[in-house]
Amino acid sequence: MSNKHVDVIIVGAGAGGGVVAKELAVHGLSVVVFERGDWPDYDKHINDELISQRTEVLGSAFGPDHRKHPRVKIDPDGTRQKVTPITGGYGNNAACVGSGTVSYGAMAWRFMPEDFKMKSTYGSVEGSTLEDWPVSYEDLEPYYEKAEWEIGVSGDDSQNPFASPRKKPQPMPHFENNREGKVLADACQRLGLNPFPIPMLRNSVPYNGRPACIRNRTCVGFACPVDGKNGTQNTVIPTAMATGNCEVKVSCQVAEVLSDSSGKVTGVAYFDGENKGHTQTADMVILAASATETARLLLNSTTDRFPNGLGNNNDWVGRNLQGHAYTGAQGLFDYDITDFAGPGATFGFCDYSHHNEGIIGGGMLCNEFNALPYLFTNMRPPGAAKWGKEHKDFQMRNIRRTAGLHGPVQEMPNFNSRVSIDPTVKDYWGIPVLALSGHRHSLDHEQCKWLSSKAEDVLKEAGAIKTWQRVGGRGLSGGQHQAGTARMGNDPKTSVTNKYGQVHGIENLYVADASLFVTGAGFNPVLTIMAMGYRIGEHITSNWTSIKSRS
Amino acid sequence: MDIDRRNFLKTGIAGFGSLMLMPACIRQRSPYLFFTLQEAECLVALCEQVIPTDDHGGGATEAGVIHYIDKQLVAVFDYNQVIYQQGISALQTSSLDLFNKRFEVLDSDTQFALLKKLESGKLPKEHWDGVKQVRFFQLVISHTMQGFYGAPRHGGNKNYMSYQMMGLDFPLVVGRNHYKHLN
Nearest C-alpha in B relative to A58: B76
Asked if B134 has any chain A CB less than 8 Å from its own CB, the reply is no
Determine how many CB atoms are found less than 10 A away from the CB of residue A11.
26
Is pLDDT at A391 greater than 60 in this prediction? yes
Question: Under an 8 A CB cutoff, do B151 and A49 touch?
Answer: yes
Instruction: Note the Cα B37 to chain centre separation in Å.
Output: 12
Which DSSP string corresponds to A348-374? Answer: EE-TTSS--TT-SS---EEEPPPPPHH
Long-range contacts formed by A261-264: CB under 8 A, 24+ apart: A261/A304, A261/A305, A263/A305, A263/A306, A263/A505, A263/A506, A264/A506, A264/A507, A264/A508, A264/A551
Closest CA to A370 of B39, B168, B32, B145: B168
Cβ neighbours, 10 Å, residue A79:
8
Q: Is A399 on the interface with B (CB under 8 A)?
A: yes
User: Which pLDDT does position A25 carry in this prediction?
Assistant: 98
Looking at residue B87, its amino acid is: G
Long-range contacts of A493-499 (CB under 8 A, 24+ apart): A493/A314, A494/A131, A494/A314, A494/A316, A495/A134, A495/A316, A496/A298, A496/A311, A496/A312, A496/A316, A496/A317, A497/A311, A498/A134, A499/A133, A499/A134, A499/A135
CA–CA distance from A477 to each of A52, A66, A115, A419, A519 (Å)? 21, 20, 19, 10, 13
| Mean pLDDT score across all residues of chain A | 96
pLDDT digits (tens, 9 = 90+) for A144-193: 999 999 999 999 999 999 999 999 999 999 999 999 999 999 999 999 99
A473, A471, A449, A458: which is closest to A359 by C-alpha? A449
B72 neighbourhood in chain A, CB within 8 Å: 58
A263, part of any domain: yes
Q: Which of B65, B135, B146 to mutate to test the interface with A (most CBs of A within 10 A)?
A: B146
Distance CA A360, CA A352 (A): 10
Nearest residue of chain A to residue B80 (CA atoms): A87
Q: What is the per-residue pLDDT for B9?
A: 41
Q: Which of A50, A340, A386 lies nearest to residue B150, judging by beta carbons?
A: A50
Provide, as residue numbers in chain B, all residues whose Cβ is less than 8 Å from the Cβ of A393.
54, 56
In a domain, A1, yes or no: no
Is the Cβ–Cβ distance between A422 and A434 less than 8 Å? Answer: yes
Q: First vs last Cα of chain A: how many Å apart?
A: 24
**Which residue from B154, B166, B169 is facing A58, i.e. has the nearest CB?**
B154
Q: Closest residue of A to B166, CA-based?
A: A396
Residue B76: closest C-alpha in chain A = A58
Cβ–Cβ under 8 Å, residues A260 and A300: no
**Residue A106 main-chain phi, psi, to 5 deg:** 75, 25
* Burial letters B116-126, b for 16+ CB under 10 A, else e: eebbeeebeee
Of B72, B162, B176, the CB nearest to A373: B162
pLDDT computed for residue B26 by the predictor: 52
Contact A448, A327 (CB under 8 A): yes
Give the minimum alpha-carbon distance from A397 to chain B in angstroms, rounded to a whole number: 7
Positive or negative CA dihedral for A226, A232, A235, A240?
negative
Q: CB-based contacts of A152: which residues, under 8 Å, 6+ apart?
A: A171, A172, A201, A202, A203, A207, A208, A230, A235
pLDDT in tens, A95-107: 999 999 999 999 9
How close B22 gets to chain A, by Cα (Å)?
Answer: 29
Residue A407 to chain B, least CA–CA distance (Å): 25
Nearest chain B residue to A371 by CA distance is B168
Distance of alpha carbon A253 from alpha carbon A431, whole angstroms: 10
- Tell me whether residues A215 and B182 touch, CB distance under 8 A: yes
Sign of CA dihedral A210, A213, A214, A220: positive
Tell me, what's the pLDDT at B7? Answer: 42
Per-residue pLDDT at A293 exceeds 90: yes
One-letter amino acid for residue A444 of the chain: D
Q: Among A57, A217, A376, whose Cβ lies nearest the Cβ of B172?
A: A217
Note whether B52 contacts A388, CB cutoff 8 Å. Answer: yes
Nearest to A222 by CA among A64, A399, A97, A48: A48
Q: Does A389 touch chain B (CB under 8 A)?
A: yes
Complete edge-to-edge strand list for the sheet that includes strand A418-426: A80-83, A71-74, A432-437, A418-426
Residue B6 pLDDT: 40
When mean pLDDT is compared across A43-47, A292-296, A454-458, B5-9, the lowest value belongs to B5-9
Measured in whole angstroms, how far is the alpha carbon of residue B144 from the centre of its chain? 7
In 3D space, the residue among A532, A516, A513, A531 whose CA is nearest the CA of residue A99 turns out to be A513
Partner A contacted by B175 (CB < 8 A): yes
Flag whether residue B93 sits within 8 Å of chain A, measured between CB atoms.
Answer: no
- Once rounded to an integer, what is the mean pLDDT over residues A50-61? 94
Q: Which residues contact A503 (CB under 8 A, 6 or more apart)?
A: A298, A310, A311, A486, A496, A497, A509, A510, A511
Residue A208 inside a domain? The answer is yes
**Strand A277-287 vs strand A6-11: parallel, antiparallel, or unpaired?**
parallel
> Number of Cβ pairs closer than 8 Å across A and B?
95
Helix (H, G, I), strand (E, B) or coil at A40: coil
Residue of B76, B150, B179 with shortest CB distance to A86 = B76
Å between A396 CA and nearest CA of chain B = 5
Contact residues for A180 (Cβ-Cβ < 8 A; gap 6+): A337, A338, A339, A344, A367, A403
Is 90 exceeded by the pLDDT of residue A33? Answer: yes
> Across the interface, which of A225, A392, A400 has its CB nearest the CB of B51?
A392
Handedness of CA A450, A100, A346, A152 (dihedral sign): positive
Enumerate the residues of chain A whose CB falls inside 8 A of the CB of residue B47.
none
Does A387 touch chain B if contact means CB atoms closer than 8 Å? yes
Q: Verify whether the Cβ–Cβ distance A392 to B52 is below 8 Å.
A: yes
Q: What is the pLDDT of residue A550?
A: 74
Mutating which of A43, A45, A46, A50 best tests the B interface, going by the most B Cβ atoms within 10 A?
Answer: A50
In a domain, residue A517? The reply is yes
Question: Where residue A414 sits, what CATH number does that domain have?
Answer: 3.50.50.60
Q: What is the pLDDT of residue B13?
A: 40
Consecutive 10-residue averages of pLDDT for chain B (183 residues): 41 40 55 96 98 98 98 96 98 98 98 98 97 98 98 95 93 68 55
**What's the pLDDT tens digit per position in A507-517?**
999 999 999 99
Q: Which among A179, A215, A388 has CB closest to B50?
A: A388
Are B172 and A218 an interchain contact pair (Cβ–Cβ within 8 Å)? yes
Choose among A86, A225, A393: nearest Cβ to B174. Answer: A225
Mutate which of B50, B80, B161, B176 to disrupt the A interface (most A C-beta within 10 Å)?
Answer: B176
The nearest CA of chain A is from the CA of B179 a distance in Å of 7
Kindly list the residues from chain A whose CB atom is less than 8 angstroms away from the CB atom of residue B174: 214, 216, 225-226
Give the domain extent around A227: 6-550
Q: Which of A425, A333, A391 is nearest to A90 (CA)?
A: A425
CA angle B59, B63, B68 (to 5 degrees): 120
Total number of domains in chain A = 1
Nearest to A413 by CA among A122, A70, A85: A122
Establish if A179 touches chain B: CB-CB under 8 angstroms.
yes
Do B146 and A374 make contact, defined as CB atoms within 8 angstroms? yes
Cβ–Cβ below 8 Å for A215 and B176: yes
Instruction: Give which of B136, B164, B134, B137 is closest to B149, Cα–Cα.
Output: B164
pTM over 0.90, yes/no:
yes
Written as one string, the DSSP assignment of A313-342 is: TTS-TT-S-B-EEEEEEEEE-SS------T
CA-to-CA distance for A156 and A352, rounded, in angstroms? Answer: 19
pLDDT of residue A43: 79
DSSP A4: P
* Nearest-CA distance B156 → chain A (Å): 12
ipTM: 0.95
Residue B76 touches partner A, C-beta closer than 8 Å? yes
